[in-house]
Structure 1
Amino acid sequence: MERILNIGPVKRQEAVAAAGLVLAMARRDLLERSPRESALAAYVSGGPSIDELERRIADRLGLTCAA
């Protein structure tokens, strides 16, 4: 990952591999957190409420949500 941050010319294949790694890490983080924890991490002022984010995340994961 450090190489990606030290941007220099990269080949398309390297860029695709790096993007895949970022997506895999994000997916892992999403699956390791509860929908509430993910909602709290995703919340930004002016956007959907934490409860709405939690509902959306739970729906996307096929879970029911107490909110």
Structure 2
Amino acid sequence: MNDTVYDEARANWRMAQCVDTGVKLSLADGVTPALEFMQECGVPREIAMRVLGAPCFGRHPAPTNAHAEAAR
């Protein structure tokens, strides 16, 4: 099974999922809870700050199931 969702593979799939979830959390609840979540998951602070502080420098979050279904 291929866990890669993006054109460019990520080295650490678990951390990638934590970052994706953190980005989605920031959209729903704000940056502070998202940063706390990412740090609890083990995402290095500098990566979490880069992604949350300047989303244009981060990768796009994985699509939700609704988006995946709509693409079919």
TM-score, length-normalised on structure 1?
Answer: 0.32
Higher-Rg structure is 1
Relative to the length of structure 2, the TM-score reads: 0.30
Q: Which has the higher contact order (CA 8 A, sep 6+)?
A: 2
